[in-house]
């Protein structure tokens, strides 16, 4: 609802701005009795008020007042300085509550940790305008008022109402930059049966595919910027998607392009490739199409991803063209849910390829069949690490059949909700932001936090375990897939490592340690542009041989021949409104609503280089209405572990309370590696509640365990005591209601008998019930009135309460004399 309102406002504002020059003319034409005074040129709109002719004193009196008023209001409207700063630490969940004000909003938010970024200078322009605060008030009307009495004899029809308006609409809309909308996104001009063909099912079949499809031919200068979802097949020519060249293949690529991230950008690749061998049966009308340099086949993709916007309204309609401006895009492809963006606007930002990025990919050592690369990407947050990581994966997939991806950024992970170090095997290129491709990774370890700040050593252990797993099971691919058609390398799987954006202090030390463990062949160091950032990452103190470097054990191995590529940072995306907290929330919700399928047919679990990937989203019901699994805690789990600073003090009698509503990692552990006794003997909670918890228990060793995924404990019963046949009391137990999207075959095979709870929380969106949102009221949850819904507090709370909010921290506070 709200986003609709916003869009509408934008539309109106735009229209008024756009029609500024013609509106006065139109109006005068229609009411011919009033003549355009010579002193008021039609272009007066664009002139600043100061150039206006001085109005008569009497009439101008209200004007300065109003101006003063609006000036006064300005600080009020932009009161919330927490909002202004680029990073606020929400000491807590880091989740989507309203308290989180982390404005850094690129794909790649990273830990909330590095600090003191200056307020970007463009922030002001965004905030300055408010609808109730006309900036250039009335100056235009003065002139019209002076002149409007030329012809007033006709009482009714002749009265020009515009002359009475103190505010002319023409003066509005300073918030819309003049050049906006001029930047074109797609230069492709669709012309049916020339470069755009709609194929029937039979025609599609001649190309070897089913269903109907749309073929698009691109010439060298054509660019195509897409919004929505589709699958595409590159039929002919070399295509550059977001700066990465892909080659024709029979592979159907899935593309997800929501407005919340930079939109995919297609253009012809530079490589010359032989034309597509046309099948003899092909319809003659298509001949012309194949004269184009690049031919792409688009088909519709129905996954239900759009409906995630229901569950998290921040992302409502992100796969649709915004309402404004009307001409920002079109839908020429006859494919439901796919639009072509014709010009760049504030809400629609195409990916803009960077020269240094393309060069770095180009400079990679050519792949050989005796050697694989390990590629490490590092840099401060919001500089495009994730985006570059996706690019390099896509690039490597043109040479290798599979690419391994190690995610060390646990704030916003590429393939999983945050909080996990995960090793993924990617076999098809990624076209979409993280929430459109959740997976059940090949191997992962649950840290439970969005930053490693409270358990750095465990975090490092998790990464080490993943690297060892990669080296022993993945790097040299055990099964040699024999596929004559596919010339890509299958014997080796290269590794891409994405690091976190916490690049200062302890974060820098951790990244350095990761680098030493990973032993990369290539390092991509994204450097922030100087004016934008902070004196970033002071040079490490190398002279001391890591003596005072955290978690290095004094044995820092110097990089052995790793090549370092310095990259420029991605232009800061101006996709305002999507904060890193929003992205975290949507990827968590996306995970819980996802349905998973194996990447390879027949793959069931461990022992094979394969994993589970998303097949669709079922958002027909909110989380509160999905029937959970019912679990007898004493039977199903061996150990319940809490991690995070302060959780050591949770006494056993409180564990049920702590688990209720929590996000937990489901961890399986190798037999014998878990010290179960320690959980059973002295845990008094175990005796009274049947939850195998004991205080200060440590999470299982990453080397011997694996997190299969996360679950939501949506309900915890009171301890249940049953009586045996003999009348003696049995061990008490507790029943948990658990929600997890993990497929049952995986659950039964993986045997995850450990629950780990960290700081990660369910986004508040996930606790609401979108079925009851008539009139925008999300108050009712599963039939319970808003004030009676447990664990949620609506509104600000009563007057006079001090300290009722979570901590908010400002790191951009300046002292006097500092600037």
Token look-up 């606790």 returns 767
Ramachandran region, residue 520 (left: φ > 0; alpha: ψ -120 to 50; beta: rest)? beta
Cα torsion 408, 571, 117, 539: sign:
positive
Virtual CA dihedral for 784, 786, 788, 792, nearest 10 degrees? 120
- According to DSSP, residue 252 is labeled P
Give 24's Cβ-side CA count (13 Å radius).
Answer: 22
595 makes contact with another protein (CB under 8 A): yes
To the nearest whole angstrom, how small is the minimum distance from the Cβ of residue 570 to another protein? 19
To the nearest whole angstrom, how small is the minimum distance from the Cβ of residue 785 to another protein? 10
To the nearest whole angstrom, how small is the minimum distance from the Cβ of residue 151 to another protein? 9
682 makes contact with another protein (CB under 8 A): no
To the nearest whole angstrom, how small is the minimum distance from the Cβ of residue 309 to another protein? 11
To the nearest whole angstrom, how small is the minimum distance from the Cβ of residue 557 to another protein? 38
Among 232, 400, 596, 617, binds another protein (CB under 8 A): 596
609 makes contact with another protein (CB under 8 A): no
User: What is the three-state SS of 331-399?
Assistant: CCCCCCCEEEECECCCCCCECCCCHHHHHHHHHCCCCECCECCEEEEECCCCCCHHHHHHHHHHHHCCC
Q: Which residues contact 462 (CB under 8 A, 6 or more apart)?
A: 421, 445, 447, 702
Distance (Å, rounded) from C-alpha 506 to C-alpha 136?
Answer: 49
Distance (Å, rounded) from C-alpha 134 to C-alpha 475?
Answer: 62
Give 82's Cβ-side CA count (13 Å radius).
Answer: 12
623 makes contact with another protein (CB under 8 A): yes
To the nearest whole angstrom, how small is the minimum distance from the Cβ of residue 284 to another protein? 36
Within positions 713 to 732, which residues make up the interface with another protein, using CB under 8 A?
Answer: 714-718
Nearer to another protein, 310 or 757 (CB): 757
- Residue 51's SS3 state is helix
- Per-residue binder mask for another protein (CB under 8 A), 145-184, x = binder: x--xx--xxxxxxxx-xx-xxxxxx--x--x---------
- Per-residue binder mask for another protein (CB under 8 A), 741-760, x = binder: x-xxx-xx--xxx---x---
Nearer to another protein, 324 or 502 (CB): 324
Point out which span in 272-280, 361-369, 498-506, 767-775 binds another protein (CB under 8 A): 767-775
| Beta strand pairing call for 213-218 and 294-299 | antiparallel
Among 355, 396, 764, 770, binds another protein (CB under 8 A): 764
By the 8 A CB rule, do 347 and 322 touch? Answer: yes
To the nearest whole angstrom, how small is the minimum distance from the Cβ of residue 721 to another protein? 16
25 makes contact with another protein (CB under 8 A): no
Among 87, 102, 114, 347, binds another protein (CB under 8 A): 347
Backbone angles phi and psi of 421, in degrees to 5:
-90, 125
796 makes contact with another protein (CB under 8 A): yes
Angle formed at CA 453 by CA 502 and CA 575, multiple of 5 degrees: 40
Within positions 72 to 101, which residues make up the interface with another protein, using CB under 8 A?
Answer: 77, 79-81, 83, 90-93, 96-99
630 makes contact with another protein (CB under 8 A): yes
- According to DSSP, residue 389 is labeled H
Q: List Cα–Cα distances, 186 to 219, 325, 488, 784, in angstroms.
A: 12, 15, 32, 49
Point out which span in 236-244, 290-298, 434-442, 617-625 binds another protein (CB under 8 A): 617-625
Number of residues that bind another protein (CB under 8 A): 171
Q: Using omega within 30 degrees of 0 as the cis cutoff, is the peptide bond preceding 413 cis?
A: no
To the nearest whole angstrom, how small is the minimum distance from the Cβ of residue 611 to another protein? 13
64 makes contact with another protein (CB under 8 A): no
649 makes contact with another protein (CB under 8 A): yes
309 makes contact with another protein (CB under 8 A): no
671 makes contact with another protein (CB under 8 A): no
735 makes contact with another protein (CB under 8 A): yes
Cα torsion 486, 298, 359, 384: sign:
negative
To the nearest whole angstrom, how small is the minimum distance from the Cβ of residue 592 to another protein? 11
What are the tokens at 618?
């079922």
To the nearest whole angstrom, how small is the minimum distance from the Cβ of residue 437 to another protein? 17
Token look-up 């490739």 returns 273
């Amino acid at each position: 609802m709200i986003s609709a309102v916003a869009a509408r406002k934008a539309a109106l504002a735009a229209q008024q701005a756009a029609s500024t020059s013609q509106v006065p003319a139109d109006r005068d034409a229609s009411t011919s009795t009033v003549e355009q005074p010579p002193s008021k040129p039609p272009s007066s709109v664009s002139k600043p008020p100061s150039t206006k002719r001085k109005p008569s004193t009497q009439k101008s009196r209200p004007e300065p007042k109003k101006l003063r008023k609006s000036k006064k209001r300005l600080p009020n409207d932009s009161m919330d300085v927490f909002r202004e700063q680029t990073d606020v630490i929400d000491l807590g969940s880091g989740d989507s509550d309203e308290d989180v004000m982390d404005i850094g909003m690129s794909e790649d938010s990273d830990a909330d940790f590095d600090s003191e970024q200056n307020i970007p200078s463009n922030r002001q322009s965004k905030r300055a305008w408010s609808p109730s605060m006309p900036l250039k008030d009335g100056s235009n009307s003065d002139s019209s008022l002076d002149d409007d009495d030329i012809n007033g004899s006709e009482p009714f029809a002749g009265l020009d109402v515009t002359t009475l308006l103190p505010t002319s609409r023409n003066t509005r809309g300073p918030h819309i930059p003049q050049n906006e909308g001029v930047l074109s996104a797609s230069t492709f001009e669709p012309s049916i049966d020339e470069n755009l063909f709609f194929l029937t099912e039979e025609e599609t079949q001649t190309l070897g595919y089913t269903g109907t499809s749309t073929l698009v031919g691109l010439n060298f200068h054509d660019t195509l910027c897409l919004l929505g979802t589709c699958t595409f097949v590159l039929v002919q020519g070399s295509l550059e998607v977001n700066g990465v060249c892909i080659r024709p293949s029979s592979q159907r690529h899935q593309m997800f392009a929501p407005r919340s991230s930079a939109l995919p950008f297609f253009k012809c690749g530079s490589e010359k490739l032989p034309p597509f061998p046309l099948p003899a049966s092909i319809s003659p009308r298509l001949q012309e199409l194949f004269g184009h340099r690049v031919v792409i086949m688009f088909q519709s993709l129905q996954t239900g991803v759009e409906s995630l916007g229901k569950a998290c309204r921040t992302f409502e309609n992100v796969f649709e063209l915004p309402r404004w401006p009307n001409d920002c895009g079109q839908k020429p492809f006859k494919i439901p849910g796919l639009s072509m963006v014709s010009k760049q606007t504030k809400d629609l930002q195409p990916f803009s390829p960077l020269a240094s990025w393309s060069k770095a990919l180009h400079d990679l050592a050519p792949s050989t069949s005796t050697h694989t690369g390990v590629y490490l990407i590092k840099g401060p947050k919001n500089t495009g690490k994730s985006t570059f990581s996706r690019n390099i994966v896509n690039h490597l997939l043109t040479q290798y059949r599979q690419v391994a991806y190690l995610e060390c950024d646990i704030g916003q992970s590429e393939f999983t909700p945050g909080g996990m170090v995960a090793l993924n095997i990617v076999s098809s290129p990624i076209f979409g932001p993280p929430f459109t491709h959740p997976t059940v990774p090949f191997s992962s370890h649950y840290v439970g936090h969005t930053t490693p700040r409270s358990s750095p050593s465990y975090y490092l252990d998790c990464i080490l375990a993943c690297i060892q797993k990669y080296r022993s099971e993945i790097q040299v691919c055990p099964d040699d897939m024999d596929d004559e058609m596919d010339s890509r390398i299958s014997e080796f799987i290269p590794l891409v490592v994405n690091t976190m954006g916490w690049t200062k202090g302890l974060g820098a030390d951790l990244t350095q340690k990761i680098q030493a463990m990973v032993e990369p062949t290539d390092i991509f160091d994204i450097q922030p542009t100087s004016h934008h950032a902070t004196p970033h990452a002071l040079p490490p103190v190398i002279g001391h041989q890591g003596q005072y470097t955290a978690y290095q054990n004094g044995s820092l191995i110097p990089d052995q021949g790793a090549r370092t590529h310095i990259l420029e940072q991605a232009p800061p995306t101006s996709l305002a409104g999507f904060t890193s907290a929003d992205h975290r929330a949507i990827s968590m919700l996306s995970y819980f609503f996802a349905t998973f399928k194996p990447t390879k047919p027949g793959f069931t679990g461990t022992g094979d280089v394969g994993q589970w990937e998303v097949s669709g989203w079922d958002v027909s019901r909110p989380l509160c209405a999905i029937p959970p699994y019912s679990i007898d805690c004493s039977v199903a789990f061996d150990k319940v572990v809490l991690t995070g600073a302060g959780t050591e003090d949770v006494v056993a009698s409180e564990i049920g309370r702590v688990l209720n509503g929590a996000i937990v990692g489901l961890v399986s552990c190798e037999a014998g590696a878990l010290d179960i006794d320690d959980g059973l003997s002295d845990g008094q909670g175990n005796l009274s509640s049947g939850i195998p918890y004991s205080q200060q228990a440590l999470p299982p060793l990453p080397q011997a365990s694996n997190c299969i995924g996360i679950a939501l404990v949506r309900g915890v019963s009171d301890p249940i005591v049953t009586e045996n046949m003999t009348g003696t009391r049995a061990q008490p137990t507790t029943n948990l209601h658990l929600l997890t999207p993990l497929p049952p075959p995986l659950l039964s095979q993986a045997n995850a008998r450990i629950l780990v709870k960290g700081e990660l929380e369910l986004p508040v969106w996930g606790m609401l019930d979108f079925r009851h949102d008539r009139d925008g009221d999300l108050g009712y949850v599963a039939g319970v009135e808003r004030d009676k819904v447990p664990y949620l507090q609506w509104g600000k709370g009563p007057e006079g309460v001090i300290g009722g909010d979570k901590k908010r921290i400002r790191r951009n506070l300046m002292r006097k004399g500092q600037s």
